[in-house]
Amino acid sequence: MGKTIVISDVHFGYEESTLRNKIYCDLFINKLREIENINQIILLGDIFEFMLCGYKQAINESKYFFNQILQLDSLKKIVYIPGNHDHSFYWQHILFNQLIIPVDQDNQLHNKDLLFLDSYTNKGNRNFLRFMFNNKDVELKYPIHKEEINGKKYLFFHGHFFDHLQTLQGDLIQAIIGKIQKPNLDQLCILNAGQYETLTILGQCHIGRNKMKNIMEKMEKSKFKKLFLNFFGINSKHPEKYAHEIEGFLRDFCGKWEEIYPNNVYDVLDYFIFGHTHKANIGTFTLSDNKKKSYSINTGCWFPQGNRQIIGNFLLIDEDKSHPVLYKFKKDG
């Protein structure tokens, strides 16, 4: 039966990213070949580091990895779900599909808003994803991807909307315009897009990159770091305490499993898969209405961990197994 691999938070372009190293990359690819019959890979956000390095550097450092991935004989599909650090990948894709291609094809542009909640495949003669992934069947989804695998319902999401530091712009805009009610998922994407794109633009010049790195270094050394992270983000929380954020996200933004499906996502979900925090973990949570026990799985990252002996994490979803398997991948393979 087919298998799915999920990875997140590689941050190609950043100096700590372990998959920049061809030796570690080859070890990981060899492990995937040992697993066999991998027909889908889900890239769960922050695969590229577009805020702390330039586009060219990040993409160039990823080429070896993706060239190896695309040579897996059984691979049929890649699903890409951007996060906050590679949000620009999705934004460029929107512009390509909704602006550049229509203009290039001499089609009339309609006075409609750009669609944020949509998915694009590489069907057709020209598509941004084709340039990146060499014509492999790639689907880009943002901010969530729902899929049923072996009768189990999975929701994939990078996790950045749990982090108040990553939704700061949207929160401020809502406060300024006096909107008290919660936005829908489309509005949440729009309200916060400018924040990610502004940081990405700063990351495309030497001065901007250095300024952001200096700010991060000062935060690391600050005695107020823990207080700051506790107030704004989720990175300092124990993974078992994510249940409140997950339940709120499912209820407020995820709606029905399908348009024609009678139940909401939180009624039927089996697995909630996310990244962003760089802390690999498997936990459980119980949604208060129906007492259904569900699993939350954080896919970790590809930075050195555990006295630098662990170089990354990945999730294996095997249709022949009852539960997904979360791997901690060591530097010796």
pLDDT at 293: 84
Q: Which residue has the higher pLDDT, 42 or 258?
A: 42
Query: In one letter, which amino acid is 333?
Result: G
Q: Mean pLDDT across the stretch 306-331?
A: 92
* pLDDT the model gives residue 235: 52
How much is the pLDDT for 137? Answer: 73
Neighbours of 139 (CB within 10 A): 18
Task: List, for residues 18-41, the tens digit of each pLDDT value.
Answer: 999 999 999 999 999 999 999 999
**Rg of the chain on CA atoms, in Å:** 20
pLDDT, tens digit (0-9, with 9 covering 90-100), for 108-153: 666 666 666 665 554 444 556 666 777 677 888 889 999 999 899 9
Across the chain, what does the average pLDDT equal? 83
13 phi and psi angles, rounded to 5 deg = 110, -25
CB under 8 Å to 81, separation ≥6 — which residues?
A: 42, 43, 44, 45, 140, 141, 142, 143, 144, 145, 156, 157, 158
CA distance 271 to 51: 30
CA distance 17 to 13: 7
Instruction: Judge whether 69 and 134 are in contact, CB under 8 Å.
Output: no
SS3 call for 192? helix
* Cα(284)–Cα(178) distance, integer angstroms: 36
pTM of the model: 0.90
Residue 239 has pLDDT above 60, yes or no: no
| Token digits of residue 194 | 């400018």
Q: Please report, to the nearest 10 degrees, the dihedral formed by the alpha carbons of residues 54, 55, 59, 62 taken in order.
A: 40
DSSP for 189-249 reads HHHHHHHHHHHHHHTTSHHHHHHHHHHHHHHHH-TTHHHHHHHH-STTS-GGGGHHHHHHH
Measured in Å, how far apart are the chain's first and last C-alpha atoms?
A: 24
Whole-number pLDDT of residue 36: 92
Q: Which tens digit of pLDDT belongs to each residue from 182-230?
A: 778 888 888 888 889 999 999 999 898 888 888 877 777 776 666 656 5
Distance CA 285, CA 275 (A): 17
**In angstroms, rounded to a whole number, what is the distance separating the alpha carbons of residues 82 and 313?**
18
pLDDT, tens digit, 9 for 90 and up, residues 274-300 = 999 899 999 888 776 667 788 999 999
What pLDDT, on the 0 to 100 scale, is given for residue 100? 75
Q: Please, which pLDDT band fits residue 234 given cuts at 50, 70 and 90?
A: low
Asked whether 156 and 95 are in contact (CB, 8 A), the reply is no
User: What does the CA dihedral 247, 182, 80, 131 come to, rounded to 10 degrees?
Assistant: 180
What is the distance between the alpha carbons of residues 238 and 233, in angstroms, rounded to a whole number?
Answer: 12
For residues 96 and 269, what is the distance between their CA atoms, to the nearest angstrom? Answer: 33
Please give the pLDDT value at position 123. 47
Give pLDDT, residue 167. 74
Return the residue matching tokens 């823990």.
Answer: 226
Give percent of the chain with pLDDT exceeding 90.
42
| 229 class by beta-carbon count within 10 Å (0-12 exposed, 13-18 middle, 19+ buried) | middle
pLDDT of residue 308: 84
Six token digits for residue 238: 């124990």
Local confidence band at 164 (pLDDT 50, 70, 90 cut-offs): confident
Q: Which residues of 190-304 form beta strands (DSSP E)?
A: 271-274, 281-286, 293-298
270 in helix, strand or coil? coil
